[in-house]
């Protein structure tokens, strides 16, 4: 893992900070912009349980997570490298979904299946 320290230009630190923020934003938007539309396309003609619906959403997120390997192995001191950070953030979102604490997923299920 390549850690950016004091010897590197401030531009690298700024770029990494922006990348961490981008990861946070992408993970936050991923459920509504990616996983839910795909889940709806696949499940709207069936009558899944809410747990099955949540698992399908998680499955789409896991498919997306394969792209994390393309992130550079860079980090700021005291922070996880970008791929590991993205994985950690996704795992947090998955836990919310599986636990029924993602409002968008719960609302989507209720809208489709009452």
pLDDT, tens digit, for every residue of 53-99? 999 999 999 999 999 999 999 999 999 999 999 999 999 999 999 99
Would residue 43 count as lying in a domain?
yes
Would residue 17 count as lying in a domain?
yes
Task: List 3's β-bridge partners, or say none.
Answer: 75
Between residues 40 and 7, which one has the greater pLDDT?
Answer: 40
| Average per-residue pLDDT for the chain | 92
Tokens standing for residue 49: 């349980």
Would residue 27 count as lying in a domain?
yes
Would residue 3 count as lying in a domain?
no
Q: Which residues contact 96 (CB under 8 A, 6 or more apart)?
A: 102
pLDDT at position 10 over 90: no
Would residue 29 count as lying in a domain?
yes
Confidence (pLDDT) at 7: 38
Number of structural domains, the chain?
A: 1
Residue 57 backbone phi and psi in degrees, to 5 = -60, -45
Domain housing 37: 9-113
Alpha-carbon span 84 to 11, nearest angstrom? 22
How buried is 56 (Cβ within 10 angstroms: 0-12 exposed, 13-18 middle, 19+ buried)? buried
pLDDT at position 5 over 50: no
């Amino acid at each position: 893992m390549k850690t950016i320290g004091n010897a590197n230009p401030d531009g690298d630190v700024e770029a990494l900070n922006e990348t961490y923020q981008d990861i946070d934003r992408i993970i936050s938007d991923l459920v509504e912009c990616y996983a839910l539309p795909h889940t709806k396309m696949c499940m709207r003609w069936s009558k899944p349980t809410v747990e099955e619906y949540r698992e399908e959403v998680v499955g789409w997120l896991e498919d997306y997570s394969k792209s994390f390997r393309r992130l550079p192995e860079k980090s700021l001191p005291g922070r996880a490298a970008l791929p590991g950070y993205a994985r950690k953030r996704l795992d947090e979102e998955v836990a919310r979904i599986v636990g029924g604490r993602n409002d968008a997923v719960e609302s989507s299920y209720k809208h489709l299946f009452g």
